[in-house]
A and B are shown apart, each in its own frame.
Chain A
């Protein structure tokens, strides 16, 4: 079980659809992340929010739009995706941003996204 909850678990969407991924944590963590993971690859950082402000955007295409409504919630809005965007999307949180001491990442179960 994970303390970071992601919904939905699976999502199939067409290239013209608009959908949103949701993530929630109640551990009091102040940093939240979106990662993308392709099969047999490591997680690839997309966005980082620290204290509810976007602090890192890893040059992600604008068809991915993150949102942090409050310190416990993180959304990823999807629009006009391409088939190559199909992947496992992982949300994570940590006490503080980055890989500092005593601030490991807690991952959610992920959303397995298929773009048709």
Chain B
């Protein structure tokens, strides 16, 4: 079945540094979704990308969907301690369910 691979598994940065996580699918995706899970919390939906080459921004977060709709990235500019958590990408498998990547755990040194 379709797999969604996400790298890196862990990322530790100094506060103020940038951060990027990458997501790759073995098949073309109709859309890709990004979620954030704070330590001890639950996943929270951040954004959905649908169009080939789409770029969306949410304040310091920039989300991209590849031209082939097989890869995506999340970039955070000038990280803050509130950005700590695990970021998951997720892509639909058929019309039935969402498959999550392994997640990138971001820790920040203040």
Dominant secondary structure of chain A at its interface with chain B: loop
A43-B88, A98-B94, A104-B48 known; 7 new pairs, CB 8 Å cut-off, are: A41-B103, A42-B102, A43-B100, A97-B95, A101-B31, A101-B48, A105-B45
B43-65 with Cβ < 8 A to chain A:
43-45, 48, 50
Q: Assess whether B96 is in contact with A97, with CB atoms less than 8 Å apart.
A: yes
Which residues of B pack against A, CB within 8 Å?
A: 30-31, 33, 35, 41-45, 48, 50, 88, 90-103, 105
Residues of A within 8 A of B (CB): 2, 40-43, 45, 48, 55-56, 90, 97-102, 104-110
Contacts of A110 in B (CB 8 A): 42
Contact with B42, one of A40, A56, A102, A109 (Cβ below 8 angstroms): A109
Q: Is the CB of A48 within 8 A of B97?
A: yes
